[in-house]
Chains A and B, each alone.
Chain A
Amino acid sequence: MSIEPKEYQAPVWHEPVIHQMGAAGRRGVLFNRVEKEVEAAVEPAESLIPDGVRRRSRPALPELSEPEVLYHYLRLSQQTLGMMGISLFGTCTMKYNPAVNEAIAWRPEITEVHPLQHEDTLQGTLEIVHRMDLILREVSGMDQFVFQAGGGAEAAYVNCAVTRGYHAARGELEQRDEIITTIQTHPSSAATAAAAGFKVVTLMLDENGYPSLDALKAAVSNRTAGLMVNNPDDMGVYNPEMKEWVRIVHEAGGLAFHDSANFNGIIGKLRPREIGFDACMFMLHKTFGAPKSGVGGPAVGAYGCSAELAPFLPSPLVAFDGSRYHLDYDRPQSIGKIREFWGNVPVVVKAYAWSLAMGAEGMAQVSDLSVLANNYMEKGLLAIRGVTRSHPEATSPRLEMTRYSLQTLKEETGVDIHDVQNRMTDFGIDAPWTSHEPWLIPEPFTPEAGEMWGREALDSWIAVLKKVSDEAYSNPEHVKAAPHRQAVHRLKPGATDDPATRAMTWRAHQRKTAR
């Protein structure tokens, strides 16, 4: 592992904002005029619009030819490092998006299908959705999955809505107005619970890296609607008392939801239902091979639950009667809709394809290799000057992630995690993830190796951090001024938040800079 990192150079296109491009009169796409017969039969378009609601002035959009538009966006894509280098972005499970899956998802049998078509014309898609449901049931132990949620946070929101439905049906919703979560569970659990109207009780960690059983016991009561918790958490720490947690919550009359965001480290090793959870959520765009799609989707938070909760799931569900697939809307206790239609079908298809390409052994190997890679990296990373690990007294091996701190580096050199992130990108390494807010560990970073990257990539990542650490101790100003080899330099601190300069649109920017 004697790798000498080489710097990378991002394309520098000096690409203007699209509003600065083009010339009046250019066109990027044309539409045939209506046929002569239509022209003769109906009034001019403007006469078909009621008075008072006609557009008076054209929108100030750029005017460009087709190739100008195409190459502008291709140049912008080239200025996106993403996974082109090495991305070990923690909690996001950076995974290969198989080319065959992408190709299948763009076939017209998926892209050119309307969700309201008659079921007879949707049998292929419904079959895939149902088969994916069965795979996830087998993996999780749950009894029914639904794919309506467009991401993990939305699946957490589904859980909150199902929790409301379940307690409302028992006449206990007014009384059960609290959701318990932990500080190391993804912010979306706490946030969706609050948005769904619950009071949120957040348990803090003890020295083992997870909250104590006593803290949970003190939190539960007859007001407890449910528990929303991940396990393992974003530091790779597994709470071994989780069966007892679920038992306590159940005893108090609450529901237990497993946010399976970090399932990549345990897939094939345990089933949330066998731990006792009533529901869980898989991110098909992380654990099951579909891409993140530019940070944020289209994605799918596949929400699964016990038979007892299934009546409350959003509608429709895909059902199979042995010969034909149906969209079942006849579900009187359903919470209704979380999002229009029945989910991001292309993402479900990609996840199904990934599952078939892996098989049970492949899936088990995913968690094996992810955990092996994380522990392999830990050995290399902890040998780097200025790097420490969270909860040093919790010595058993972490699962698919480890939370590290650069506090020592910062104290000794003045270089902070943000400087290091930027400098690492100069070597073609996607900036490592720090931690969710609030930072419990100072100057945190959290690589997640996953199963895709080879040992050489892991070694390169370690070697780059080592190089940056060496630079921090020898030439800290160089690191603090990073990046040096990207499309643009670092943003001026505070400029995106200052009301005088922040501008979410070009027209706002024009207005603010014209002053």
Chain B
Amino acid sequence: MGENTAHPYMANSVPTIQREMLDAIGADSIDQLFSQIPADHRTERPIDLPPALSESALSRHLIGILAKNRTVEQNLNFLGAGSWQHHVPAACDEVVRRNEWLTSVFGEPSSDHGRNQAWFEFCSQLAELVDLDMVGLPVRSWGTAAGYALRMASRLTGRNEVAVVRAIDPERLSVIRNYCEPVEMANHIGVRLVDYDPATGLMNLDDLRAAVGDQTAAVYFETPSYLGVIENQGAAIAEIAHAAGAELIVGVDPISLGVLAAPADYGADIVVGTIQPLGVHLNTGGGVGGFIATRDDERYAHQYPTLLISIAETIEPGEYGFGLSLFEQTSYGLRDKGNDWTGHSVYMWAIAAATYMALMGPRGFEDIGGVILQRAHHAARQLAEIEGVRVIFPSGFFKEFVVNFDGTGRDVGEINESLREQGIFGGKDLSREFPELGASALYCVTEIHTLNDIERLVEALRKAIA
């Protein structure tokens, strides 16, 4: 690539075109157009980067580096903990890679009609899973959704404390703590952690009653919980929260909702969760996304920080389109006076999830929930038969469960290293996050794991602890 060779990404990188454009505006040089910038603001030395690569050299360079990764296709993976390996139908990828919406920005409802409809269908289908009438466009992660929801509750109640289940992903809790602001801030929201029952993994209701009071804006729990357990005391928790005048916020993994009751059915006021399991690849953690859903009433509608998209009639009788709703209450509309803030999110994953939910239908969700439950329980029981290995909460879980290795005399790091040598990614090490669980790991089994995979894991674990 020689001097003055045009760059393939820049049509005007041909010198004669630039000369003609300069002539058209009556300027001598491009540099003259930067006259607003004082000389002492300009770079002290030029940017120093390696020479530009052609596409073939670039491709080879990138593939060479990426070859150092190991994938869950090359290995048998049991890691979940916030990023879960489910089957992504090829149709989801085909849809989501379309250049039309990949490169779109805010057009008009009429000119970007298709994308707006796809977003609306994301909200509408998720609404059926969570059994609620209002769903916002996605936010950047489950933790983000929980953080926003807790702040919504604080604004709704005028209170500044929240009760949060302790069996929570420490990453998500850290996100939540940032949303609740440090103690030095005037609007700090105090986070009171509610213990879980060491026998069942369920929320300790006595501890909840002690934590909830007249300053409690919200009670927050998740089902399945971070430790995998399906919380079955939702109605009792709702009663405690509501009796104190607090909102009940429940976090869910929507892939479970073909078989598990929707939290709204036992009293949740705000439902949040992940959208990654719905047709989005792991993407090295870049697949995460979250959502917020509520009943469709004014009280909640006016607290959403997210963008909302509404169906609406057009000026042509009988014709419908889709446009942003309640935009004025966002930070785009009101800057610092808006509801928290909005910005780039994961709207492409909304389109992937819309496709996924449409492919699944009611029976798909029912089937996948059943397959996951049976496979995960079978795996847990097979593992528990290994000497020295115990499943801490052996029943009432969905796709994740806690495996304890105290009886083997090995720590999780050692075991996972041995598994890795055998081509298996073992569960997430919990021993530092939850020391009371001992040498434990969080295993994830989904519809992608076959009986053969489970047997391979059992055999590998036997070797690892031998």
Partners in one complex: yes
Is the Cβ of B281 less than 8 Å from the Cβ of A111? yes
Is the Cβ of A372 less than 8 Å from the Cβ of B21? yes
Bound complex: CA A107 to CA B379 (Å): 30
Residue of B33, B75, B142 contacting most chain A CB atoms (<10 Å): B33
Residues on B with C-beta less than 8 A from A151 are 140, 343-345
Q: Kindly state whether residue A237 has any CB partner on chain B within 8 Å.
A: yes
Is the Cβ of B52 less than 8 Å from the Cβ of A357? yes
Is the Cβ of B331 less than 8 Å from the Cβ of A187? yes
Chain B: CB-nearest residue to A509: B311
Is the Cβ of A64 less than 8 Å from the Cβ of B359? yes
Q: Kindly state whether residue B196 has any CB partner on chain A within 8 Å.
A: no
Q: Kindly state whether residue A218 has any CB partner on chain B within 8 Å.
A: no
Question: Nearest-CB distance from A115 to chain B (Å)?
Answer: 3
> Which of A125, A293, A365 makes the CB contact (< 8 A) with B7?
A365
Q: Given A191-B338, A340-B175, is A503 in contact with B310 using a C-beta cutoff of 8 Å? A: yes
Is the Cβ of B365 less than 8 Å from the Cβ of A61? yes
Residues on B with C-beta less than 8 A from A192 are 341
Chain A: CB-nearest residue to B144: A339
Bound complex: CA A152 to CA B343 (Å): 7
Q: Kindly state whether residue A332 has any CB partner on chain B within 8 Å.
A: no
> Which of A73, A104, A177, A507 makes the CB contact (< 8 A) with B351?
A73
> Which of B223, B281, B357 makes the CB contact (< 8 A) with A53?
B223
Is the Cβ of B133 less than 8 Å from the Cβ of A357? no
Is the Cβ of B361 less than 8 Å from the Cβ of A486? no
Q: Kindly state whether residue B243 has any CB partner on chain A within 8 Å.
A: no
Q: Given A59-B258, A341-B83, A425-B110, is A197 in contact with B185 using a C-beta cutoff of 8 Å? A: yes
Residues on B with C-beta less than 8 A from A48 are 373-374, 377, 395
Q: Given A38-B378, A73-B355, A340-B169, is A504 in contact with B136 using a C-beta cutoff of 8 Å? A: yes
Is the Cβ of A202 less than 8 Å from the Cβ of B335? yes
Bound complex: CA A427 to CA B9 (Å): 24
Is the Cβ of A197 less than 8 Å from the Cβ of B188? yes
Q: Kindly state whether residue A69 has any CB partner on chain B within 8 Å.
A: yes
Is the Cβ of A108 less than 8 Å from the Cβ of B259? no
> Which of A161, A335, A356 makes the CB contact (< 8 A) with B58?
A356
Residues on A with C-beta less than 8 A from B142 are 340
Residue of A82, A268, A271 contacting most chain B CB atoms (<10 Å): A82
Bound complex: CA A80 to CA B115 (Å): 6
Q: Kindly state whether residue A355 has any CB partner on chain B within 8 Å.
A: yes
Q: Kindly state whether residue B437 has any CB partner on chain A within 8 Å.
A: no
Q: Kindly state whether residue B336 has any CB partner on chain A within 8 Å.
A: yes
Q: Kindly state whether residue A215 has any CB partner on chain B within 8 Å.
A: no
Residue of A107, A114, A285, A372 contacting most chain B CB atoms (<10 Å): A114
Is the Cβ of A297 less than 8 Å from the Cβ of B257? no
Q: Kindly state whether residue B241 has any CB partner on chain A within 8 Å.
A: no
Is the Cβ of B37 less than 8 Å from the Cβ of A269? yes
Is the Cβ of B58 less than 8 Å from the Cβ of A371? no
Residues on A with C-beta less than 8 A from B30 are 368, 371-372
Q: Kindly state whether residue A203 has any CB partner on chain B within 8 Å.
A: no
Question: Nearest-CB distance from B263 to chain A (Å)?
Answer: 9
Is the Cβ of A496 less than 8 Å from the Cβ of B128? no
Interface segment out of the listed A373-381, A405-413, A468-476:
A373-381
Residues on B with C-beta less than 8 A from A153 are 331, 341-344
10 cross-chain pairs, A with B, having the tightest CB-CB distances, nearest first: A153-B343, A151-B344, A82-B104, A341-B285, A454-B11, A115-B285, A79-B114, A359-B52, A191-B331, A197-B185
Interface segment out of the listed B204-212, B319-327, B457-465:
B319-327
Residues on A with C-beta less than 8 A from B363 are 27, 58, 63
> Which of B98, B136, B362 makes the CB contact (< 8 A) with A58?
B362
Which B residues between 2 and 19 are near A, CB-CB below 8 angstroms? 7, 9-13, 17-18
Chain B: CB-nearest residue to A502: B310
Bound complex: CA A120 to CA B417 (Å): 11
Question: Nearest-CB distance from B283 to chain A (Å)?
Answer: 6
Which A residues between 98 and 145 are near B, CB-CB below 8 angstroms? 98, 100, 102, 104, 106-118, 120-125, 127-128, 135, 138-139
9 contacts between A and B (CB under 8 A): A18-B125, A104-B66, A118-B416, A138-B47, A152-B344, A266-B34, A298-B348, A372-B30, A492-B315
Is the Cβ of B359 less than 8 Å from the Cβ of A298? no
> Which of A15, A52, A164, A345 makes the CB contact (< 8 A) with B182?
A164
Residues on B with C-beta less than 8 A from A345 are 283-286
Q: Given A38-B375, A102-B97, is A73 in contact with B118 using a C-beta cutoff of 8 Å? A: yes
Is the Cβ of B52 less than 8 Å from the Cβ of A455? no
Residues on A with C-beta less than 8 A from B417 are 118
Which B residues between 334 and 375 are near A, CB-CB below 8 angstroms? 334-338, 340-351, 354-355, 357-371, 373-375
Chain B interface extent, by class: 35 or more
Question: Nearest-CB distance from B264 to chain A (Å)?
Answer: 12
Q: Kindly state whether residue A514 has any CB partner on chain B within 8 Å.
A: no
Bound complex: CA A139 to CA B49 (Å): 9
Chain B: CB-nearest residue to A297: B344
Residues on A with C-beta less than 8 A from B144 are 339
Question: Nearest-CB distance from A144 to chain B (Å)?
Answer: 18
Is the Cβ of A508 less than 8 Å from the Cβ of B133? yes
Given contacts A152-B343, A294-B102, A491-B109, 14 further A-B contacts (CB under 8 A): A15-B117, A55-B257, A56-B265, A78-B114, A116-B83, A122-B69, A135-B49, A154-B344, A161-B178, A195-B179, A369-B18, A375-B33, A488-B321, A506-B120
Which B residues between 32 and 73 are near A, CB-CB below 8 angstroms? 32-38, 40-44, 46-53, 55, 58-59, 61-63, 65-73
> Which of B38, B44, B72, B378 makes the CB contact (< 8 A) with A240?
B38
Question: Nearest-CB distance from A149 to chain B (Å)?
Answer: 8
Question: Nearest-CB distance from A427 to chain B (Å)?
Answer: 11
Bound complex: CA A504 to CA B137 (Å): 9
Interface segment out of the listed B214-222, B230-238, B403-411:
B230-238
Is the Cβ of B11 less than 8 Å from the Cβ of A453? yes
Bound complex: CA A276 to CA B369 (Å): 55
Residues on B with C-beta less than 8 A from A60 are 128, 362
Question: Nearest-CB distance from A84 to chain B (Å)?
Answer: 6
Q: Given A31-B367, A360-B49, is A118 in contact with B420 using a C-beta cutoff of 8 Å? A: yes
Bound complex: CA A182 to CA B135 (Å): 33
> Which of A355, A369, A398 makes the CB contact (< 8 A) with B12?
A369
Is the Cβ of B311 less than 8 Å from the Cβ of A17? yes
Bound complex: CA A154 to CA B345 (Å): 9
Q: Kindly state whether residue A303 has any CB partner on chain B within 8 Å.
A: no
Is the Cβ of A164 less than 8 Å from the Cβ of B103? no
Residue of B181, B232, B282, B326 contacting most chain A CB atoms (<10 Å): B282
> Which of B87, B89, B91, B378 makes the CB contact (< 8 A) with A34?
B378
Q: Given A336-B174, A359-B50, is A187 in contact with B335 using a C-beta cutoff of 8 Å? A: yes
Q: Given A60-B128, A124-B68, A399-B36, is A82 in contact with B112 using a C-beta cutoff of 8 Å? A: yes
Is the Cβ of B296 less than 8 Å from the Cβ of A139? no
Chain B: CB-nearest residue to A349: B62
Residues on A with C-beta less than 8 A from B262 are 55
Bound complex: CA A154 to CA B178 (Å): 12
Q: Kindly state whether residue B199 has any CB partner on chain A within 8 Å.
A: no
Q: Kindly state whether residue A83 has any CB partner on chain B within 8 Å.
A: yes
Bound complex: CA A50 to CA B117 (Å): 37
Question: Nearest-CB distance from B361 to chain A (Å)?
Answer: 4
Q: Kindly state whether residue B384 has any CB partner on chain A within 8 Å.
A: no
Residue of A135, A193, A362, A504 contacting most chain B CB atoms (<10 Å): A504
Q: Kindly state whether residue A322 has any CB partner on chain B within 8 Å.
A: no
Question: Nearest-CB distance from A332 to chain B (Å)?
Answer: 14
